[in-house]
Amino acid sequence: MDEDSVRAALEPAAAAPAPPARVDIAAARRRGRGALRRRAGLTGGSAVAAVAAVAVAVTGAGPFGSHPGRPAAPGRHAGIAPPRRFSPLTTYASFGWLPPGESLGGGQMSPVMEYLTAGPHGTAAWSLTVYTAGRCQPGIRRLARQIRRHRQASLVCAFGRSGGWTGPISGFAPRVGRSTAFWTAQHGSLAWQFARDSWAVLSLPRGRAARSEAVAIARRVRYGAVAARPVEFPVQLTGMPAASAVGYTYFVADAGRLRASEYSLAEPRPYPPGFTTNLTKRRDTCDMYPDGQSRRETINGYRVVVDRLRAERGNPAVRQVCATDVAGLFIFVSTYGRTRPDAVSLFAHHLRVLGPDPANWTTRPLS
């Protein structure tokens, strides 16, 4: 599965916690996302700008799946501390077991939720969303009472000001660990608490009678330190303010590693700088806007397209740098309004390119 296919599987979740994706800066995001979709000739609907055409088939136990002969032991939910905040740089959850021939494709991480996809050859057949404590309501006891009394209820999980997810609960499912579990309408998802006030939701493949497999997957999801897996970055930002931090990250499973492909800084709000870093493909292009808003330039010896898009309809002005081949990487940088340093300065003076070789990648995107 290539990076755009995985990305297409994650975009609905991505739209919520990632501030730039929620804001209607049509010109900025249309250019970036349009170019990425064209990289695979797809129009799918989700987001993990992922690795170049690498499908990781897992045949034994490891971070992306386990041997089908004997799945990993189920987690003991009672011993898991309720998570208050996730790291956008290290996974909190992982698939301890997947059906034979299926593996992790990619994911998204933000402080309030983590989203993973998996399926045959890394496709997005399954999607697992894990929420920090207190994000989902009502509590498990109240939800169970509503189902028993009214035979219907809804689980509502909030991402914050940027939106949330609502699942109409249709009935009880087999227990997951020590937790009562629930099916959503039409058995589209399985929901359970993996820790106190902390919910996980597993979406099933479309058109598949996969309920028994869903329960098996859910019972073997790993959490916390045993699931921790760092994301690696093919570029590094240098000379940034000391308070700079990554706000959210999309990654792809790439030859046994988790490679960051799209991410943003946490500040300045509500329009933090955004970055896309993928492996170069022959069909990569950079769009040219009319009316002199786009210019071809050379920065640090690399041919790039610089977009200076005017403010419109209440949205701020946008600065973008697009480069189809920077030492083997496709790089796209966006900044908004009066953000400093802007996209051109970031690319020219703060972006350390590590290249496509995994041996050179870093788990520290800011130095």
Annotate 305-345 with DSSP letters as a single string: EEEEEPPBTTBPPEEEEEEEEETTEEEEEEEETT-SS-HHH
pLDDT at 36: 37
At residue 78 the predicted structure's pLDDT band, cuts being 50, 70 and 90, is low
* CA–CA distances in Å: residue 320 to residues 55, 87, 233: 30, 27, 20
Residues 121-136 have a mean pLDDT of: 93
Residue 286 has pLDDT above 50, yes or no: yes
SS3 259: strand
Name the token pair of 149: 């009394």
**Position 125: which residue type?**
A
pLDDT at 342: 96
* CA–CA distances in Å: residue 43 to residues 39, 40, 86, 262: 10, 9, 30, 18
pTM of the predicted protein model: 0.79
Report the percentage of the chain scoring pLDDT > 90: 63
Do 246 and 19 touch, CB atoms closer than 8 A? no
Select from 180, 164, 161 the least CA-distant residue to 172.
180
* Alpha carbons 365 and 155: distance in angstroms, whole number: 36
At residue 8 the predicted structure's pLDDT band, cuts being 50, 70 and 90, is low
Residues 168-184 have a mean pLDDT of: 93
pLDDT at 305: 97
* Alpha carbons 59 and 57: distance in angstroms, whole number: 6
Q: Tell whether the torsion through CA atoms of 258, 262, 265 and 270 is positive or negative.
A: negative
pLDDT at 121: 85
pLDDT at 279: 95
Residue owning tokens 């946490």: 266
At residue 282 the predicted structure's pLDDT band, cuts being 50, 70 and 90, is confident
Q: For residue range 256-279, list pLDDT tens digits in order.
A: 899 999 999 998 888 899 999 999
Average pLDDT score over the chain: 81
Residue 199 has pLDDT above 70, yes or no: yes
At residue 162 the predicted structure's pLDDT band, cuts being 50, 70 and 90, is low
* Alpha carbons 256 and 240: distance in angstroms, whole number: 30
Residue 212 has pLDDT above 70, yes or no: yes
Contacts (Cβ under 8 Å, ≥6 apart) of 224 = 80, 81, 83, 92
Alpha helices in 183-342 (DSSP H): 211-219
* Alpha-carbon 151 to chain mean position: 34
For β-strands 274-279 and 163-176, DSSP reports them as unpaired
Number of Cβ atoms within 10 Å of the Cβ of 199: 27
The β-bridge partners of 270 are none
Task: Tell me 162's DSSP state.
Answer: T
